[in-house]
């Protein structure tokens, strides 16, 4: 079969971050591209993830900002918060972004099928309408969805998907999990006035982040009034006559709440795609197995993003989509470099990190040189807010090369993006020391570490 005999050069399933980037770039390289999306163009990040979540984080921050304002001379009266105004404005912006993503695909002449597609051959997909389409290459970019523990009554809980659509902020919220989503929504709900309890199956929060910054978030959260229950596994959730939920868990007393939010990881969307029939292999964790070029066990079929469970972050999915399109359609063989990926948790206050933690560096090199700055940001001093930031630099024990940077404090993700450039470039502590501080800032602490 010659290329021209196929309906398309590329058929992408899933119009999220990875799928849209791959489709758009492939089309810009001259490929004939179609994409099938059964929900909305934009994917998790834009529709029910990073973007609307960040807007809620901004909104939540006003609670403290308005309180702090009086120490800066402002009389703001008695602030009132209206969830529905925020919710509708956020959802309105999601609609706008959905439109922009669709427009991007249209502008690049990518044909969109707003329906489900199933792979029915190495070069064939069948749409929900029954129509069959052939393509030289198929890209699976179907992402992931929230994992919900299978305890009796789990159907009474919600996930982050539904959190953006609530009719009201629940008075008492139980958040299951202690990872990214749990800590971000804990901050959001707490700032909006809910009584928040996080429960986790293990005894730690944010596994993978540096221990000192995790501990600092836990301490700050406890002081703010959030509650934590560790080593707790769900047993059952009973819906009571008044609509409240009674949650039974191991090692702890039952807890009565008005909402249970599951934030217990995400699982790849592989069901009903026809993967078995066509011979696409899966990993032990049920994700699509790919090589460094994002190619699956079927040579004409590729996969990018969360469905492959490499690093579940939007910018990584975007890079995978770009590398795929450049390699396959642009004559520019490219692989994604997974080293030193910075990340952030938009908790209250936020956490950010890049490179090795102190524990990882010690394990790898026998020891590590660690420099820390533990300080109260100037704004917090005047606001009489006793909340301290912590910056930590982890260096190679002999060469002083910076192996990792970890921070918690206001704007940590903003600061980290640029600090990560230095770590990625392999700079040393001496390079940071040689850089003159910008005073007064919080980030100057990074070049003043002793
Ligand atoms: P995380 O992987 O961050 O955290 C999962 C949490 O749930 C952990 O506390 C884990 O416990 C617990 N858990 C996992 N499996 C189970 C289970 N079977 N039963 C009970 N508890 C369980 O997942 P999230 O859901 O918070 O987020 C999903 C992914 O989305 C993240 O990995 C991240 O990559 C991405 N994301 C990124 C964001 C960002 O960049 N700011 C924001 C939101 C999401 P334990 O640690 O004890 O194993």
- Residue 263 CB less than 6 A away from ligand 1: yes
261 contacts 148 by C-beta, under 8 angstroms: no
Of 245, 264, 283, the domain-final residue: 264
Pair of tokens at residue 434: 């040689």
Q: Whose CA is nearest to atom 42 of ligand 1?
A: 180
* Atom number of ligand 1 nearest to Cα 343: 40
How long is the chain?
450
445 contacts 391 by C-beta, under 8 angstroms: yes
Of 224, 243, 264, the domain-final residue: 264
Over residues 340-353, the mean pLDDT reads: 98
Over residues 228-253, the mean pLDDT reads: 96
The count of other CB atoms within 10 Å of the CB of residue 327 is 17
* Atom number of ligand 1 nearest to Cα 264: 7
290 contacts 296 by C-beta, under 8 angstroms: yes
Pair (216, 357) in one structural domain: no
- Determine the 3-state secondary structure of 273 from DSSP: coil
Angle between helices 358-365 and 211-224 (to 10 degrees): 160
Query: Which tens digit of pLDDT belongs to each residue from 11-66?
Result: 999 999 999 999 999 999 999 999 999 999 999 999 999 999 999 999 999 999 99
CATH number at residue 398: 3.30.390.30
**The domain containing residue 416 runs over which residues?**
349-447
Pair (36, 120) in one structural domain: yes
- Residue 180 CB less than 6 A away from ligand 1: yes
**Residue 399 domain-assigned (yes or no):** yes
- Residue 265 CB less than 6 A away from ligand 1: yes
Distance from Cα 432 to the centre of ligand 1, integer Å: 33
**Residue 338 domain-assigned (yes or no):** no
Give the pLDDT score at 40: 92
pTM: 0.97
Pair (209, 227) in one structural domain: yes
Distance from Cα 49 to the centre of ligand 1, integer Å: 13
**Residue 335 domain-assigned (yes or no):** no
Is the pLDDT at 2 greater than 80? The verdict is yes
Distance from Cα 149 to the centre of ligand 1, integer Å: 12
Distance between CA atoms of residues 371 and 429, nearest Å: 9
Most ligand 1 atoms within 8 A of CB, residue of 178, 265, 266 to mutate: 265
**Residue 207 domain-assigned (yes or no):** yes
- Residue 268 CB less than 6 A away from ligand 1: no
Pair (188, 107) in one structural domain: no
**Residue 342 domain-assigned (yes or no):** no
Pair (10, 100) in one structural domain: yes
- Determine the 3-state secondary structure of 330 from DSSP: coil
Pair (213, 279) in one structural domain: no
Distance between CA atoms of residues 436 and 108, nearest Å: 45
Pair (96, 214) in one structural domain: no
Q: Whose CA is nearest to atom 47 of ligand 1?
A: 202
Distance from Cα 147 to the centre of ligand 1, integer Å: 9
Distance from Cα 303 to the centre of ligand 1, integer Å: 22
Of 264, 298, 319, the domain-final residue: 264
Per DSSP, helices labelled H in 293-411 are 314-329, 358-365, 378-382
- Residue 345 CB less than 6 A away from ligand 1: yes
**Residue 139 domain-assigned (yes or no):** yes
259 contacts 174 by C-beta, under 8 angstroms: yes
- DSSP letter (8 states) at residue 413: H
**Residue 411 domain-assigned (yes or no):** yes
* Atom number of ligand 1 nearest to Cα 202: 47
The structural domain count of the chain equals 3
* Range 97-103, long-range pairs (CB < 8 A, 24+ positions): 97/42, 97/46, 97/47, 97/51, 98/40, 98/41, 98/42, 98/46, 98/47, 101/15, 101/20, 101/41, 101/42, 101/46, 102/41
pLDDT band at residue 98 using 50, 70 and 90 as cut-offs: very high
Pair (68, 164) in one structural domain: no
Phi-psi region of 125 (alpha: psi -120 to 50; beta: other; left: phi over 0): beta
- Residue 266 CB less than 6 A away from ligand 1: yes
Pair (23, 102) in one structural domain: yes
Over residues 225-241, the mean pLDDT reads: 96
Query: Which tens digit of pLDDT belongs to each residue from 144-184?
Result: 999 999 999 999 999 999 999 999 999 999 999 999 999 99
CA R_g for the chain: 24
Q: Whose CA is nearest to atom 36 of ligand 1?
A: 180
Give the pLDDT score at 378: 97
* Portion of the chain with pLDDT greater than 90, in percent: 98
Beta strand ranges found along 102-208 (DSSP E): 111-113, 117-121, 124-127, 132-140, 144-146, 158-159, 172-176, 195-199
* Portion of the chain with pLDDT greater than 70, in percent: 100
- Residue 149 CB less than 6 A away from ligand 1: yes
Give the pLDDT score at 1: 77
Tokens 């940001």, residue located: 377
- Residue 250 CB less than 6 A away from ligand 1: no
* Atom number of ligand 1 nearest to Cα 160: 25
Distance from Cα 310 to the centre of ligand 1, integer Å: 14
Give the pLDDT score at 61: 97
Over residues 299-323, the mean pLDDT reads: 97
Give the pLDDT score at 3: 87
- Residue 203 CB less than 6 A away from ligand 1: no
Indicate the average pLDDT of the chain.
97
- Residue 183 CB less than 6 A away from ligand 1: no
Bridge partner residues of 158 (DSSP)? 261
Pair (271, 314) in one structural domain: yes
Q: Whose CA is nearest to atom 34 of ligand 1?
A: 312
Pair (39, 138) in one structural domain: yes
Give the pLDDT score at 347: 98
**Residue 337 domain-assigned (yes or no):** no
Active site residues: 439
CATH number at residue 177: 3.50.50.60
Give the pLDDT score at 309: 83
Bridge partner residues of 119 (DSSP)? 125
- Residue 44 CB less than 6 A away from ligand 1: no
Q: Whose CA is nearest to atom 1 of ligand 1?
A: 179
Pair (14, 134) in one structural domain: yes
Could you tell me the CA-to-CA distances from 252 to 12, 177, 257, 262, 340 in Å, in that order? Answer: 47, 15, 15, 18, 39
Over residues 366-386, the mean pLDDT reads: 97
């Amino acid at each position: 079969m010659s290329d021209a005999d196929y309906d398309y050069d590329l058929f992408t399933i899933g119009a999220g971050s990875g799928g849209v980037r791959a489709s758009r770039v492939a089309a810009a390289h001259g490929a004939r591209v179609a994409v099938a999306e059964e929900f909305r163009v934009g994917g998790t990040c834009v529709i029910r993830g990073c973007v609307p979540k960040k807007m809620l984080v901004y909104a939540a921050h006003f609670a403290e900002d308005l309180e702090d304002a009086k120490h800066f001379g402002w009389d703001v009266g008695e602030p009132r918060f209206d969830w529905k105004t925020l919710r509708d404005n956020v959802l309105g912006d999601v609609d706008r972004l959905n439109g922009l993503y669709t427009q991007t695909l249209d502008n690049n002449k990518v044909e969109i099928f707003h329906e489900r597609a199933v792979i029915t051959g190495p070069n064939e997909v069948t749409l929900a309408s029954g129509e069959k389409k052939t393509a030289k290459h198929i890209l699976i970019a179907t992402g992931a969805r929230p994992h919900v523990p299978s305890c009796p009554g789990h159907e009474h809980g919600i996930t982050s998907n539904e959190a953006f659509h609530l009719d009201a902020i629940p008075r008492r919220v139980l958040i299951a999990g202690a990872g990214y989503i749990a800590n971000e929504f804990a901050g959001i709900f707490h700032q909006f006035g809910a009584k928040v309890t996080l429960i986790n199956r293990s005894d730690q929060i944010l596994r993978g982040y540096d221990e000192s910054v995790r501990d600092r978030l836990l301490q700050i959260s406890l002081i703010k009034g959030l509650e934590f229950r560790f080593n707790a596994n769900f047993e059952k959730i009973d819906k009571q006559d008044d609509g409240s939920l009674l949650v039974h868990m191991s090692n702890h007393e039952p807890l009565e709440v008005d909402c249970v939010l599951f934030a217990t990881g995400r699982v790849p969307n592989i069901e009903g795609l026809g993967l078995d029939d066509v011979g696409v292999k899966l990993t032990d964790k049920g994700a699509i197995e790919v090589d460094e070029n994002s190619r699956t066990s079927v040579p004409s079929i590729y996969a990018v993003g969360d469905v492959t469970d490499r690093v579940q972050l939007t910018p990584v999915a975007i890079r995978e989509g770009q590398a795929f399109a450049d390699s396959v359609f642009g004559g520019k063989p490219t692989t994604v470099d997974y080293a030193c990926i910075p990340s952030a948790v938009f908790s209250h206050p936020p956490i950010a990190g890049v490179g090795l933690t102190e524990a990882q560096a010690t394990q790898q090199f026998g020891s590590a040189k660690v420099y820390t700055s533990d300080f109260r940001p100037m704004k917090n001093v005047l606001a009489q807010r006793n909340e301290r930031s912590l910056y930590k630099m982890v260096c190679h024990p002999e060469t002083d090369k910076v192996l990792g940077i970890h921070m918690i404090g206001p704007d940590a993700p903003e600061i980290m993006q640029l600090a990560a450039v230095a770590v990625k470039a392999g700079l040393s502590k001496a390079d940071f020391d040689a850089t003159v501080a910008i005073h007064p800032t919080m980030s100057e602490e990074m070049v003043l570490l002793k």
